[in-house]
A and B are shown apart, each in its own frame.
Chain A
Amino acid sequence: MSRKFKVVIALLVGLAAVGLVVAGPVGAKVEDDTIVFGAALSFTGKYSTNGKHTKNGYDLVVKRINETGGVKVGDKSYKIKIKYYDDESTPARAGQLADRLIKQDGIKFILGPYGSGPTKGMAPITEKYKIPMVEGNGASRSLFNKGYRYLFAVLSTSEQYLAEAIAVAAEQAKKAGKDPSSIKVAIAVENDPFSMDIRAGVLEDAERYGMKVIIDDKLPKELTDMTATLTKVKALKPDVLVVSGHSKGATLAIRQTAQMKVDVPILAITHCEAADVVGKFGANADYTLCATQWAPTMTYKDRWFVSSGEYAKTFEKEYGYVPPYQAAESSAAVLVWVDALERANSFDTEKLRDTLAATKLETFYGWVDFDDTGKNIAKPMVLRQIQKGKYVPVAPAKFAAGKVIYPRPKWSER
């Protein structure tokens, strides 16, 4: 009886002791001449593709900064590095890892994970410990109505993603002499925090123009099929079809609209670049409208990468593919941190928070200026259309390099 308990206790205590001693390789916020950032990214799980884009974006800046003299704080020049964990694409894990980065690894500078879900998991933790987090991949607007003071996002929030697509539809209706309210909209989004916000944004825009939403489907998180929605689209003939579901959703939308020969005047989606729809589907991806946070054709400048175009070149040389905006916005997040560290000239997190809040910075990715809630209000979304396998910016007017082709040619005429 008691021997049994002895075994039990020996096991418990032994394991606990070993575990705890070994579990936390204690790092620090600043080791000698290196500033350590912390990030939990989706290396495995459903966001792993975009997790990789995010990591590449982070790593490229780390490399560039370290090559060009590091970050100056005080009189000293620091190198930077990032401590990574794998959040397995789930918010539950992301939150625990935020805790771990801050409490056990002693990290005081957090970079965001990929995706709104994991970001929602991390934000309450960074907020609790008053450790600033600069993120480039959590676009859900519900992140910015919780009163978080330590969360800063360099990207445009999700309701802006496809607003331009709805505007294009309205414009085309007017051109054709019709009232925008005659437009019929079909929405199919993945049931996850990010895409649900995309939907909310589209619904609001549609309502503003008085458009009718005739299909409003939520797709399961295990996104493998949307034929049911597309069958409805074929029957009801909407003027606009909006699809959002990260890279999987983009791939699915292009593949199945082509397979089923779904004719719809406007197909607008997110994550075209990240899913590489042009590479995968060639001409079948043509005429799709893609919402993008950033594109290599933009003309922003900064002192680290010179320009948007140069950034794209450097990235492609390093990783062998054109940077999708997920990588660019991740890079921008690190740049914002670097800028704040240099301006604050201190490692004090309170001071850094205030400095971050006051950021006004032009990066290769665009202007960064945070409002009270921590979201970037200085950078617009861009809408690009795939034309003959090329991404052509079509809206807003300021960035447009070509005209939108409307309507999408029918499959029978291609």
Chain B
Amino acid sequence: MKTKGRNFVLYGSILLISLVAPLVLPAYGTQLAFLWVMVVFALTWDIVGGQMGYNSFGNVVFFGIGMYVTAVIQRNMHYDIEEYVHVAGRVDTLASGEYLAGLFLGMGVGAVVAVVIAVILGFCILGMGMRGQYFGICTLGLGVAAGELANGWEYIGAGSGLVTPVFPEGLGVRGAFFYYIFFILAIILYMTLKWLYSGRFGLAVNAIRDDEDKAEAMGIHTTRYKIVAWCISAFFLSLVGGGAGHLIGFIDPTEVAFAGATFGVWMILMAILGGKGTLWGPVIGAVIFHITQELFWTYLFGWQRVALGALIVGIVVFFPQGIMGWVRERWPERFGHRVEEKGVFSVSEGGGA
């Protein structure tokens, strides 16, 4: 009871801090919004990469799909495509209602498209029994291929990219608007994962991670679970992609949408930094990574990438299990890994393990 009460207070305070953050720090709205994008990145990557042990380098594909579908749907709803893509007179700014309709419809459709593609790809890659580094290389290829496809497809702007409409006046502060969208998305994602990990799904994907053959021998439909896990990842990544495209304002095929070298790598990095295979690990990893990155950008001008690289090396050397992994090793009793005097033995309560 007592623990639950404390949890409530702590969850509550996180919620409260998160809710007021953009109001207290309006100048940082956009950066704070990106913080939640990073959290979603890390959490979605961890479903497949951490909990299931399938290192995917191509999750950014779904992010890009969400971004493009949302932007294209919004464009097609309100503009003449020829006019929007090619030279022409001025393009009128959208009214708030139109903007929102396009944005949310686009995000919804984008999520569905991403899931459909995840199912198809899942059957092709996971259904064929691709594992380990082969799966990793294969997904890496997916990311690159998606970027190149988008790069050559005139309808979505090809190499020239796609510009999203200017954020309308009526919707208030731009940073805060996207902040709350991403915040809500991250909360829903967190709750969904907490629920999934605490049930059969969590056990099944963990079993796949630990020994896939045994899991299959035990009667677990491994392929089905793998594809479902990938679809959940795709669903949320696509939603966040739809919003992020509008927050960034310009969708470049290889550097914004299917940006394997930045977003694609970061999502893995954040999950590992925080501790993959845990629920809180990716969240903490994302927060630390994002803040460090912003600080490096400000203070280590021109050397930010070098510093970031050094940081990654440091993390891998000193915290190979990530921060949560380190904490768990240091104080295992707090994760219910040791029988305490009271005799309480709980595995993975609160999604810890």
Q: For residue B249, which residues in chain A have a CB less than 8 angstroms away from its CB?
A: 95, 121, 123-125
For residue A323, CB closer than 8 A to chain B, the reply is no
A108 adjacent to chain B (CB < 8 Å) = no
What sequence of 0s and 1s flags, for each residue 283-316 of chain B, a beta carbon within 8 Å of any chain A beta carbon?
0100110010011011001101100000000000
Complex-state Cα separation, A373 to B87, whole angstroms:
12
- Assembly CA distance A123 to B250 (angstroms): 9
Distance, CA A120 to CA B167, complexed state (A): 15
Whole-angstrom CA separation of A188 from B94 in the bound complex: 37
**A195 — nearest CB in chain B belongs to which residue?**
B159
Residue of A nearest to B344 (CB): A1
Given A20-B25, A44-B302, A92-B248, CB of A124 within 8 Å of CB of B163 = yes
Residues on A with beta carbons closer than 8 Å to the beta carbon of B254: 221
Residue ID in chain B nearest A92 by CB atoms:
B256
A100 at the interface (CB under 8 A from B): yes
Contact residues in A for B298 (Cβ distance below 8 Å):
22-25
A135 to B160, CA, bound (A): 19
Q: Is the CB of A92 within 8 A of B284?
A: no
Interface residues of A in 92-143 (CB under 8 A from B): 92, 95-96, 99-100, 103-104, 117, 120-121, 123-125, 127-128, 140-142
Q: Name the residue on B nearest A194 (C-beta).
A: B160
Interchain CB contact (< 8 A) of A15 among B3, B17, B288, B349: B288
Residues of A within 8 A of B91 (CB): 145-147
Q: Judge whether A15 and B159 touch: CB under 8 Å.
A: no
The interface-forming segment of B6-14, B45-53, B126-134, B190-198 is: B6-14
Interface size for A (C-beta < 8 A) is: 63
Q: Return the CB mask of B161-201 against A: 1 if under 8 Å, else 0.
A: 10110110000001100000000000000000000000000
Whether the pair A96, B30 counts as a contact (CB closer than 8 A) is: yes
B27 and A86 form a contact (CB under 8 A): no
Interface stretch (choices A2-10, A230-238, A263-271, A380-388): A2-10
How close is B38's CB to chain A, nearest CB, in angstroms? 12
How would you classify the secondary structure of chain B's contact residues: helix, strand, loop or mixed? helix
Establish whether residues A88 and B350, one from each chain, have CB atoms under 8 Å apart when the complex forms: no
B175 contacts across to A, CB distance below 8 A = 99, 103
Decide yes or no whether B151 CB sits under 8 A from chain A: yes
A86 in contact with B327 given A16-B291, A91-B252, A193-B160 (CB within 8 Å): no
CB-CB under 8 A from B327, the residues of chain A are 4, 7
Q: Is the CB of A3 within 8 A of B334?
A: yes
* CB-CB contacts below 8 Å: B304-353 with A: 304-305, 323, 327, 331, 334-336, 349-350, 352
A84 close to B (CB within 8 Å): yes
**Does B93 sit within 8 A of A, measured CB to CB?**
yes
- State in angstroms the CA–CA spacing of A13 and B152 once bound together: 44
- State which residues 14-32 of A face B: CB under 8 Å: 15-16, 18-20, 22-25
Judge whether B259 is part of the interface by a CB distance below 8 angstroms.
Answer: yes
Distance from A340 Cβ to chain B, minimum over Cβ atoms (Å): 22
State A3–B3 Cα separation when bound (angstroms).
Answer: 9
CB contacts (< 8 Å) of B11 on chain A: these are 5
Does chain A have a CB within 8 A of B89? yes
Give chain A interface residues in 52-99, CB to chain B under 8 Å.
84-86, 88, 90-92, 95-96, 99
Alpha-carbon distance between A11 and B259 when the two chains are bound, in angstroms: 29
Nearest CB in chain B: distance from A386 CB, A: 28
Chain B residues positioned under 8 Å from A197 (CB to CB): 160
Please tell me if the beta carbons of A4 and B334 are within 8 angstroms of each other in the complex. yes
Mask, A183-208, CB within 8 Å of B = 1, is 00000001111011100000000000
A311 in the interface (beta carbon within 8 A) = no
B301 touches A84 (CB 8 A): yes
- Residue in chain B with minimal CB distance to A48: B302
Which residues of the other chain, B, contact A13 by a CB distance below 8 angstroms?
Answer: 17
**If the complex has contacts A91-B252, A92-B255, are A191 and B152 also in contact, measured as CB distance less than 8 A?**
yes
Determine the distance from Cα of A170 to Cα of B151 in the docked complex, in whole angstroms. Answer: 32
Contact indicator A117/B161 (Cβ below 8 Å): yes
Residues in B whose Cβ lies below 8 Å from that of A16: 17, 21, 287, 291
> Nearest Cβ distance between residue B8 and chain A, in whole angstroms?
10
Residue in contact with A103 in the complex, picked from B30, B255, B287, CB distance below 8 Å: B30
Q: Decide: A4 and B352 in contact? CB cutoff 8 A.
A: yes
Inter-subunit contact A142/B291 (CB<8 Å): no
Judging by beta carbons under 8 Å apart, are B10 and A23 in contact? no
Contact call A43/B302, Cβ cutoff below 8 A: yes
Q: Is B34 an interface residue (CB 8 A)?
A: yes
Known A-B contacts A96-B34, A117-B252, A145-B89; A19 and B294 likewise in contact (beta carbons under 8 Å) = yes
Cα separation A97 to B276 with both chains bound (whole Å)? 30
Residue of A nearest to B257 (CB): A92
* Across the A-B interface, the 4 shortest Cβ-Cβ residue pairs: A124-B249, A191-B159, A19-B291, A147-B90
Q: Using a CB–CB distance below 8 Å, which chain B residues touch chain A?
A: 3, 6-7, 10-11, 13-14, 17, 21, 25-31, 34, 86-93, 148, 151-152, 158-161, 163-164, 166-167, 174-175, 248-250, 252, 254-256, 259, 262, 280, 284, 287-288, 291, 294-295, 297-298, 301-302, 304-305, 323, 327, 331, 334-336, 349-350, 352
Extra contacts, 10 of them, besides A104-B28, A124-B249, A145-B90 (Cβ < 8 A), are A1-B334, A3-B331, A9-B13, A23-B28, A44-B305, A90-B255, A95-B248, A103-B28, A117-B250, A125-B249
8 A-B contacts, Cβ less than 8 Å apart? Answer: A8-B284, A19-B294, A23-B31, A24-B298, A91-B252, A117-B161, A147-B90, A191-B158
